[in-house]
Amino acid sequence: MRFLFKTDYEDDIRLVPHSGYVLSYGALFVLLIIAPYVLSSYLMSQVVFVCIYATVGVALLILTGFTGQASLGHAAFLAIGAYTAAYLQQYNVPFPVYFLAAGLLTGAIGAIVGFPALRLQGIYLVIATISFAFIVEEILARWESVTHGNEGMRVKTIQWLGTTVPRDSPAFYFLCLAVLVLTIVGALNLLRSPTGRAFIAIRDSETAARSMGINVSLYKVKSFAISAGITGFAGCLFAHKLSFISPEMFTLQLSIEFIIVILIGGTFSLHGAVLGAIFIVMLDPFLTYLKDDVPGMVGSLAATLGAGSERAGHIQDSVAAFASANGLKGAIYGVIIVLFVLFEPLGLYGRWLKIRLFFQLFPLYKRATFKRQKIYVKSERNR
Amino acid sequence: MLDFVQQLVSGIALGCVYGLIALGFVLVYKATEVVNFAQGDLMMLGGFFAFTFIGILGLNYWIGFAAAVACMAALGMLAERLVVRPILGYPQFSIIMATIGLGYFLRSIAGMIWGTDDFKIETPFSQGVLRIGSLVLAYDKLSVIAATIILCALLYLFFNKTTLGTAMRASSENMLAAYYMGIPVKRVVSIVWAISAAVATCAGVLLAPITFIHSNVGLVLGLKAFPAAVLGGFGSIPGAVVGGVLIGVIESMAGFYLPEGWKDVAPYIVLLLVLLLRPQGLFGLPMRKKV
């Protein structure tokens, strides 16, 4: 086991705590660079979605995980980013300009949303962000001169300085990856800066933060603006990846998916956003696999175990019927959320930490290390 | 003027359904400080149970209604036991997510069992109208209003006149203190969930003649019940019903007098205004700050 001796504050907030990080993240970086030349184009497209979802996940982590302000309205921020990009693109605005505009405008709107949200807490904030998202969705559907209403908008491929970047090319993947990496590095730097420390203080106790001289309102609005801005950048990429956007893509369902991303990944670390995004996006290929291959496998397994061919065929059919049943995806989503909340509240990254600690401390690992405290007095109502 | 009264009555009828769903939110919130995002889906499931008993098995309307309520009360207790009890006392965010997950699950399961079509339940009030002068009021809408009033009266009596109701109020005030005083808090919470699921079922069955029952109806109406609960003040039982009626009337009026599109947004605009101007709602007590 490695012991890190920290002798001053600089040691505590270093981006790279020890040399092991360079090695493991370097290896990951090399894998990501060679990925487009190894993986199939379908998988590559899923990886691009992982990058976009993870970017939104990082944005949501800054707001929900580190400032403690739950939001179920991030699909609206994504929509604002996507529509800004699509609208400006019609007037031949170059890509970097409308990319920046998408992020900045969304950030500004996020700050405007942040002001009313100052007075709200917990469940009220969740409901208010849901309402905000509904209103944005309705505006997108009705403001036809700008958004083309329910017909949706086409988004052309990225063109800049004479080069085109099609949405399924490796170059587009590298663009998304670069945005994700920059977002993560930016978020890491933010979180070790005074601003990030203030966010965490607000999450842990607003009253304590205020008595330490933190301007709570200012930092909450900042957190909203930063989170919305990052989501706006992701929205621009999202629009390009889909090449067509319409209001019904940005529903409550999508906001919930983003929350699931950080819930499954783990809400206490930026690793969670990436792990959760991988989980959510790769669920689709997994379900397709389930639909196509598993019935045959179960059927042949039944046959080898001695079931008659007619019986095996029957088993195969019923498994196929179950796998392709309408709404199976929703049921799986529901079960996954409930199971994670009940049994793995720290998410996938928490599970990794537990496994790592288990081997580091073997055989002295105690499960109680990660036990959460239960509070039975009504604290949140009076906070 | 006639149009106005017609819109008012249909708004109140719709609002009563919102109010009943909001009542379910408030019951659970008061008892356990859990906001049940699956409340609308419980309503949907209640409607489907009633449809199965009445429409498919051909039972008498009232027997089918009672059977659906009983089934859903049991299901509510089961949901509380499996999903909510293990995480009571954890941060609110976890609990909200768990109930969202529960809602997803119930919706998909309902879609898998009953399909995604619209269903209608034949009720004794489906046909017939009440005529007062030139005013025409459908019985199905009046039945919703009457049933809401009866349910509210029953709940009021239950909470204020019975021992169990008093125990529920005590444990909603402070779970730990109630436990020390010998109230079986776990069983009380379980019963609260059963009542809330039963109220949701009533809403679902009463709604069936007005809007059709389909697997997504719970999500749509459940989200409209949030403005109702917030408008009434989240912890207040009369507030939930009054808030529901107000939201229903506002929605109905917006649909009639304002251009297209306002109808769906109006409840949420009202909600945001309430949250900005009077976060404790119409009937709520101002929140105190404690460190």
- Whether chain B has a CB inside 8 Å of the CB on A238: the answer is no
**pLDDT at position A381:** 45
Strand partners, A245: A153
Q: How confident is the model at residue B116 (pLDDT cuts 50, 70, 90)?
A: confident
> Taking CB atoms and an 8 Å limit, are B92 and A123 in contact across chains?
yes
> Taking CB atoms and an 8 Å limit, are A338 and B223 in contact across chains?
no
Tell me: pLDDT of B138 over 80: no
Q: Which residues on chain A are in Cβ contact (under 8 Å) with B180?
A: none
**pLDDT at position A376:** 64
Lowest mean pLDDT among A70-84, A181-195, A316-330, A338-352: A316-330
Q: Which residues on chain A are in Cβ contact (under 8 Å) with B289?
A: 207, 382-383
Q: How confident is the model at residue B291 (pLDDT cuts 50, 70, 90)?
A: very low
Tell me: the pLDDT tens digits for B148-193? 888 888 888 888 889 988 888 888 777 788 888 888 888 888 998 9
**How many C-beta atoms surround the C-beta of residue A78 within 10 A?**
32
Q: Which residues on chain B are in Cβ contact (under 8 Å) with A334?
A: 101-108
Q: How confident is the model at residue A177 (pLDDT cuts 50, 70, 90)?
A: very high
Q: Find the CB nearest A134 among B35, B215, B268.
A: B268
Q: Could you tell me which chain A residue has the CA closest to the CA of B227?
A: A127
> Taking CB atoms and an 8 Å limit, are B112 and A325 in contact across chains?
yes
Among A342, A343, A372, the residue to mutate for chain B (most B Cβ within 10 A) = A342
> Taking CB atoms and an 8 Å limit, are A378 and B111 in contact across chains?
no
Instruction: Note whether A193 and A201 are within 8 A (CB).
Output: no
Tell me: the pLDDT tens digits for A52-96? 999 999 999 999 888 888 888 899 999 999 999 889 888 888 888
Q: Which residues on chain A are in Cβ contact (under 8 Å) with B188?
A: none
Tell me: pLDDT of A380 over 60: no
Instruction: Give A227 to chain B, closest Cα distance, Å.
Output: 18
> Taking CB atoms and an 8 Å limit, are A337 and B94 in contact across chains?
no
- Whether chain B has a CB inside 8 Å of the CB on A63: the answer is no
The residue among A28 and A372 whose pLDDT is bigger is: A28
> Taking CB atoms and an 8 Å limit, are A330 and B111 in contact across chains?
yes
Q: Could you tell me which chain B residue has the CA closest to the CA of A266?
A: B94
- Whether chain B has a CB inside 8 Å of the CB on A256: the answer is yes
Nearest to A124 by CA among B231, B253, B158: B231
Tell me: pLDDT of B73 over 90: yes
Instruction: Give B131 to chain A, closest Cα distance, Å.
Output: 38
Instruction: Give A251 to chain B, closest Cα distance, Å.
Output: 12
Tell me: the pLDDT tens digits for B189-230? 899 899 999 988 988 888 877 777 787 888 888 888 888 888
> Taking CB atoms and an 8 Å limit, are B272 and A256 in contact across chains?
no
Three-class SS state of B6: helix
> Taking CB atoms and an 8 Å limit, are B276 and A116 in contact across chains?
yes
- Whether chain B has a CB inside 8 Å of the CB on A333: the answer is yes
Tell me: pLDDT of B290 over 60: no
> Taking CB atoms and an 8 Å limit, are A336 and B101 in contact across chains?
yes
Instruction: Give A320 to chain B, closest Cα distance, Å.
Output: 14
Q: How far is CA B188 from CA A49, A92, A164, B104, in A?
A: 46, 64, 65, 26
- Whether chain B has a CB inside 8 Å of the CB on A371: the answer is no
Find all residues with CB under 8 Å of A109, minimum gap 6, and list them: A77, A80, A228
Q: What are phi and psi of A245, to 5 degrees?
A: -130, 145
Instruction: Give B145 to chain A, closest Cα distance, Å.
Output: 27
- Please state, in angstroms and rounded to a whole number, the distance separating the CA atoms of residues A253 and B100: 11
- What are the b/e assignments for B44-61, b being 16+ CB within 10 Å? bbbbbbbbbbbbeeebeb
Q: Which residues on chain A are in Cβ contact (under 8 Å) with B83?
A: 338, 342
Instruction: Note whether A269 and A349 are within 8 A (CB).
Output: yes
Find all residues with CB under 8 Å of B50, minimum gap 6, and list them: B64, B65, B68, B121, B201, B204, B205, B208
> Taking CB atoms and an 8 Å limit, are B223 and A263 in contact across chains?
no
The residue among B126 and B93 whose pLDDT is bigger is: B93
- Whether chain B has a CB inside 8 Å of the CB on A215: the answer is no
Tell me: the pLDDT tens digits for A131-154? 888 888 888 888 877 778 777 788
Q: Find the CB nearest B104 among A141, A263, A334.
A: A334
> Taking CB atoms and an 8 Å limit, are B98 and A341 in contact across chains?
yes
Q: How many CA atoms lie within 13 A of A176 on its CB side?
A: 31
Tell me: pLDDT of B289 over 50: no
What average pLDDT does the segment B25-32 reach?
Answer: 82
Q: How confident is the model at residue A326 (pLDDT cuts 50, 70, 90)?
A: low
- Whether chain B has a CB inside 8 Å of the CB on A134: the answer is yes
What average pLDDT does the segment B25-52 reach?
Answer: 85
**pLDDT at position A302:** 76
Tell me: pLDDT of B287 over 60: no
B-facing residues of A in 75-114 (CB < 8 A) are: none
- Whether chain B has a CB inside 8 Å of the CB on A337: the answer is yes
Lowest mean pLDDT among A214-223, B120-129, B146-155: B120-129
Q: Find the CB nearest B105 among A130, A334, A376.
A: A334
**pLDDT at position A1:** 63
Instruction: Note whether A317 and A301 are within 8 A (CB).
Output: no
Q: Which residues on chain A are in Cβ contact (under 8 Å) with B219?
A: 252
- Whether chain B has a CB inside 8 Å of the CB on A145: the answer is no
**pLDDT at position A382:** 42
Among A262, A341, A343, the residue to mutate for chain B (most B Cβ within 10 A) = A341
Average pLDDT, chain B: 83
Q: How confident is the model at residue A182 (pLDDT cuts 50, 70, 90)?
A: very high
Find all residues with CB under 8 Å of B96, minimum gap 6, and list them: A70, A123, A126, B35, B37
Among B97, B106, B107, B223, the residue to mutate for chain A (most A Cβ within 10 A) = B97
> Taking CB atoms and an 8 Å limit, are B108 and A328 in contact across chains?
yes
**How many C-beta atoms surround the C-beta of residue A21 within 10 A?**
12
ipTM for the predicted complex? 0.84
Q: Which residues on chain A are in Cβ contact (under 8 Å) with B81?
A: none
- Please state, in angstroms and rounded to a whole number, the distance separating the CA atoms of residues B255 and B247: 12
Instruction: Note whether A66 and A203 are within 8 A (CB).
Output: yes
> Taking CB atoms and an 8 Å limit, are A326 and B111 in contact across chains?
yes
Place of tokens 């409840």: B267
Tell me: pLDDT of A324 over 50: yes
Instruction: Give B106 to chain A, closest Cα distance, Å.
Output: 7
